[in-house]
Amino acid sequence: MVVVVDTVSATPLRPRHPEKVNRPDALSPPKPDWIRVRAPTTRGYADTRAIVRENGLVTVCEEAGCPNIGECWDKKHATFMIMGDTCTRACAFCNVKTGLPGALEADEPEHVAEATFKLGLAHIVVTSVDRDDLADGGAEHFAKTIRAIRARCPATSIEVLTPDFLRKDGALEIVAAAKPDVFNHNLETVPSRYLSVRPGARYFHSIRLLQRVKEIDPAIFTKSGIMVGLGEERHEVLQVMDDLRSADVDFLTIGQYLQPTRKHHAVMRYVPPDEFAGYEKVAYTKGFLMVSASPLTRSSHHAGDDFARLRAARAAISR
């Protein structure tokens, strides 16, 4: 039996995914040449790591084993994951630890704001684990974090990447009322793959969440992303684009799924770069203001530069 070992936390022998430990290994094909990443060894990386540690913060960059960490942290771009490092869901693609999370830390919003200040970020992305155990799914904590960053770093634009708040009535409204600049919620995959990839979520609910944000506050940019290589068909990706446009979503990201461990969903296929370029082209024709599609695209990758482009694109069409 293979044990999935926690490589991030200080208790390395705790299985990171107890629910996956007894699953058979899922074998993925070898990585192609176009999936190449820089090893995280630079001074900028070390500085970012120090600020994250000093403030006792968790990042999705580390927890999800993101391939872009060397590049992003070198530029002091980190995505903070609030409400702990343990998720109440157990998606088949995700490397974040599964289990029962601890209590919320009341001063976490201030710590995130302080780290944003110290990193000198013009744009910050804040995400979280799923907190199905909390009555509001963690919505108020998200809102407090947005307000704390606004107070400490008024010039910084704020992007939230939220869970789906399934069965948490009123949660989404709490986050939207705090007025993030970008509200991101990832669909992750096409609807036909939900049961295998994202079994705790509902495709229509996620689409509706994004649509609702726009209804509440049309000034907030909405954003969503999917991974490819999970067994989806091209026509299904195009359908997702149409569904997102029906919900008035502004920004689409598409990246290659990479398998965190052999206990996770297998990579069914490495999508070549020219297919990503094709997706990007089609998505623009469907009316997205911004599209980022490439093998290493992740929702928070280059998020600051993309936000500037997003704003410029909106300004251009409203002239």
User: Which residue among 4, 58, 61, 126 contacts ligand SF4 (CB under 6 A)?
Assistant: 61
Give DSSP secondary structure letters for 88-139: S---TT--SEES---PPPTTHHHHHHHHHHHHT-SEEEEEE---TTSTTTTH
Instruction: Return the SS3 of 227.
Output: strand
Give DSSP secondary structure letters for 233-300: -HHHHHHHHHHHHHTT--EEEEEE---SSTTSPPP-----HHHHHHHHHHHHHTT-SEEEESTT--TT
Question: Are 310 and 182 contacting, i.e. CB atoms less than 8 angstroms apart?
Answer: yes
Q: Which is nearer to ligand SF4, 247 or 294 (CB)?
A: 294
Q: Does 222 bind ligand SF4 (CB under 6 A)?
A: no
User: Which residue among 148, 298, 306, 310 contacts ligand SF4 (CB under 6 A)?
Assistant: 298
Q: Does 186 bind ligand SF4 (CB under 6 A)?
A: no
Residues in region 299-318 near ligand SF4 by CB under 6 A: 300-301
| Separation CA 94–CA 276 (nearest Å) | 22
Number of chain residues interacting with ligand SF4 (CB under 6 A): 12
Stretch that binds ligand SF4, among 18-26, 46-54, 77-85, 273-281 (CB under 6 A): 77-85
Stretch that binds ligand SF4, among 73-81, 146-154, 169-177, 189-197 (CB under 6 A): 73-81
Give least dist CB 311 to ligand SF4, A.
19
Q: Does 77 bind ligand SF4 (CB under 6 A)?
A: yes
Q: Which is nearer to ligand SF4, 228 or 247 (CB)?
A: 228
User: Which residue among 51, 69, 244, 258 contacts ligand SF4 (CB under 6 A)?
Assistant: 69
Q: Does 227 bind ligand SF4 (CB under 6 A)?
A: no
Instruction: Return the SS3 of 201.
Output: coil
User: Which residue among 51, 52, 58, 72 contacts ligand SF4 (CB under 6 A)?
Assistant: 72
Q: Which is nearer to ligand SF4, 63 or 243 (CB)?
A: 63
Q: Does 94 bind ligand SF4 (CB under 6 A)?
A: no
Cα dihedral 209/214/220/224 (nearest 10): 40
Residue owning tokens 């069409």: 317
Strands 79-82 and 123-128, by their bridges, are parallel
Give least dist CB 255 to ligand SF4, A.
9
Q: Which two tokens stand for residue 30?
A: 């070898």
Q: Does 157 bind ligand SF4 (CB under 6 A)?
A: no
| Separation CA 257–CA 160 (nearest Å) | 21
Angle at 90 between CA 105 and CA 10, to 5 degrees: 50
Q: Does 207 bind ligand SF4 (CB under 6 A)?
A: no
Residue owning tokens 């195009």: 238
Question: Are 313 and 294 contacting, i.e. CB atoms less than 8 angstroms apart?
Answer: no
Q: Which is nearer to ligand SF4, 149 or 174 (CB)?
A: 149
Binding mask 41-60 for ligand SF4 (x = CB under 6 A): -------------------x
Binding site for ligand SF4 (CB under 6 A): 60-61, 66, 68-69, 72, 77-79, 298, 300-301
